[in-house]
Structure 1
Amino acid sequence: MTKHSFFRKKPGVVGLLSAAGTVATIASIAGLAGQLSWVLDLASHFRVQYFVTLVVVATALVATRSYRLAGLFSAMALLNLVLVLQLYMGTPSEPGSQGRPLSAMLINVHSSNTDHAAVLAGIKRHDPDFVLIQEVNQRWSEALNAIKDRYPHVVSKPREDNFGMVLLSKDAPLDSNILDVGNIGVPTILAKFALDGRAFFILGTHTLPPVGSEYARMRDRHLAEIPRVTAGLDAPVVVLGDLNTSPWSYHFRKLIRESGLRDASRGHGVQTTWPTHLFPMLIPIDHCLYSSGIKILDKEIGGRNGSDHYPVIVDFSLLGPQPD
């Protein structure tokens, strides 16, 4: 029996394929209207999954000679592919002389994670200049004392919920503050540094997860306030954090548009970070954004460390005036 005749004798297979393709199509379109509803915005995060599903469905429908449906689902797969490919396109380079390379690491440790050794080993292996650690409670704060000799400078706001935060650095900050961006009630760390005569900021922030309409509104307000914070800074800034949104979300794109910040993922592709225990549903929600005056040299995702998030490691340098 040929493959084509198998499918012709199994009309239920075509129905199942059509149903899967229809769901992926509806979700693909819904994700474009995230400004209308937090539920629609949730649909924006799974572009890679929609693309894979639609390609598989369209290919199988070609085998059944259901060419119209295959064409429709292929078109929707192309829509998702275009959105995904944007992350593989780099941003234009900014002129200016580069300072020495620096690195920053973002780790959402998950407050209930007890594998301190794995997290500490990852930090030691990558040896970044700055480490922003999120979901830090008192137990995690004490565990981080093990690397205090390497990171003697600490800006700390531990909490027993999922929104404690610590910034570790090898060099002392000129200044540091704990902010409440958007009056949400969760801390944001802002620290100013000066290296080789060039000043810059590290801003670490963690939004609420959009698990309901109220939390979604607070997350959106938090994201909407970040441009106001960065606009008031007198030096370039690197923004690190679990933003609980993906690059395809309306609210993420609005943040980029209104702040003038750039997404460090551009040119590095889809680098998924959460949830580590559910591979087919992995999406990129842990981010590095940066302003003019910063050049991204590399961006990578770290390994497992007991958390439901993968770490993010970014290499960057400060840009100075072009030499005469």
Structure 2
Amino acid sequence: MLPILIFCTLLALLTALLPLSRNSHWIIRGLDFPRLQFTVFATVLLIAHYYFLDSQMIITQVLILATTLCLIWQLWWILPYSFLWPKEVKTSSDGSADKQISILTSNVLTPNRNADALIRLVKKHQPDVLVTLESDQWWEDKLKVLEAEMPYSIKCPLDNLYGMHVFSRLPLGGQEICYLVEKDIPSIHATLELRTGDKIRAHFLHPAPPSPTENPESAERDAELVIVARSVAESDQPVIVTGDLNDVAWSATTRLFRKISGLLDPRVGRGVFNTFHADYLIVRWPLDHLFHSQHFTLQDIQRLPSIGSDHFPLLTILSFTPLRSARQKGVQARASDHEWAKEISEEQNVGKNDVPKPGKTD
């Protein structure tokens, strides 16, 4: 049993230490994803050390110490996405419908043909904005039935798994479809006008993931996130960034995005809200995100039932309460974070000025 437990401890150390590297290879960055699973693994391993080994042996004490440190390290990343952590975004006490904005984000999975399930969710929850990822021309045709109630739209149907659509009850302005880093990976940028007349700067993203079948490195994904973060950081406008970011909430790169942008994560202190993979209970993590500026407080956030995709839809309801939410603060950036962000964008020869600034007034 001792050799097995030694091997498992070394494995736990590798899964904890390798992501510390800024190497963007998909194998390294992929270890960011299952931190929750690694936490469970380290917990079970720690129990096994006490149960099967003699705690008086030096080797046992070393194994227990190493496993405990791994467990603490993994918990440091995931605990903010639990009820044990203070909420980063305050719960809204303003029930005014005119100040609310509800956004339903759904990666539909291009070959999925269960459009009726998504349409039923839209009709049930009546979101102000529907964002679809991986939506091609077939999906666009099926979702046309929504246009009677959601007359504003931005359409980018593609058959490469990166099509995007935005359907809205709220007026859209400053619309742009951009290919910020990769020539076949679009993003959508626009303003949303609330019923009060206030305008929100919105960015809808779906960068490609680091994987052996997509990009062997995360460099392109990271660059897109970083330049959007650097762009919105310079704005005093209300901002929402949402989409399938192909990165988990607790990764170093998503944390860098939050630091640089100054945007808040409504999941902190409320739960994980795993949206992928819908078909496998033990292999799930939060890939679909909504971040926002401190102008908003949270009415509700929930993962919706499956529509046949590999992603669950995510519904977020915000209240525009800029005076009441000024005390909200996210994670703070250090000089080293800004340097790292600059390196990431320069490596891909892109910058914050490549990102549209809808609604900006000079």
**Band the TM-score falls in, shorter-chain normalisation:** 0.7 to 0.9
Give the corresponding residue for 1:288: 290
3-state SS of 2:109 partner: coil
Q: Equivalents in 2 of 1:265, 1:184: separation in Å?
A: 32
Q: Equivalents in 2 of 1:96, 1:306: separation in Å?
A: 35
Quickly say closer, same or farther: Cα 1:74–1:66, change in 2 above 3 A: farther
Determine if contact 2:90/2:298 at 8 Å carries over to the other structure: no
Give the corresponding residue for 1:48: 36
What runs of 5+ residues in structure 2 fail to find an aligned partner?
A: 56-60, 325-362
Q: Equivalents in 2 of 1:66, 1:150: separation in Å?
A: 68
Determine if contact 1:245/1:252 at 8 Å carries over to the other structure: yes
Output the TM-score relative to the length of structure 2.
0.79
Give the corresponding residue for 2:349: none
Of 51-60 and 143-152, more deviation after overlay is shown by 143-152
Q: Equivalents in 1 of 2:27, 2:11: separation in Å?
A: 15
Q: Which has the higher helix share?
A: 1
Give the corresponding residue for 2:158: 159
Query: What is the RMSD computed on CA atoms of the aligned residues?
Result: 2.4
Give the corresponding residue for 2:204: 204
| 1:221-260 matches, cutoff 5 A | 221-231=223-233, 233=235, 235-260=237-262
3-state SS of 1:181 partner: coil
3-state SS of 1:222 partner: helix
* Equivalent of residue 28 in structure 1, options 16, 19, 32: 16
Give the corresponding residue for 1:79: 73
3-state SS of 2:310 partner: coil
Quickly say closer, same or farther: Cα 1:49–1:321, change in 2 above 3 A: closer
Give the corresponding residue for 2:88: 91
Quickly say closer, same or farther: Cα 1:319–1:37, change in 2 above 3 A: same
| Count of residue pairs the alignment pairs up | 310
In the TM superposition, what is the alpha-carbon distance from 1:305 to its structure 2 partner? 0.9
3-state SS of 2:177 partner: strand
Q: Equivalents in 2 of 1:277, 1:97: separation in Å?
A: 37
3-state SS of 1:160 partner: coil
| 1:1-324 matches, cutoff 5 A | 11=1, 14-35=2-23, 37-67=25-55, 68=61, 69-88=63-82, 89=85, 90-91=87-88, 93=90, 100-195=99-194, 196-212=196-212, 214=216, 216-231=218-233, 233=235, 235-321=237-323
Q: Equivalents in 2 of 1:92, 1:106: separation in Å?
A: 19
Identity %: 24
In the TM superposition, what is the alpha-carbon distance from 1:171 to its structure 2 partner? 2.1
In the TM superposition, what is the alpha-carbon distance from 1:181 to its structure 2 partner? 2.4
Output the TM-score relative to the length of structure 1.
0.87
Determine if contact 1:175/1:191 at 8 Å carries over to the other structure: yes
Q: Equivalents in 1 of 2:95, 2:244: separation in Å?
A: 28
What runs of 5+ residues in structure 1 fail to find an aligned partner?
A: 1-10
Q: Equivalents in 2 of 1:28, 1:181: separation in Å?
A: 32
3-state SS of 1:148 partner: helix
The one-letter code matched in structure 1 to 2:3 is G
Determine if contact 1:103/1:314 at 8 Å carries over to the other structure: yes
The one-letter code matched in structure 2 to 1:80 is Q
Quickly say closer, same or farther: Cα 1:317–1:60, change in 2 above 3 A: same
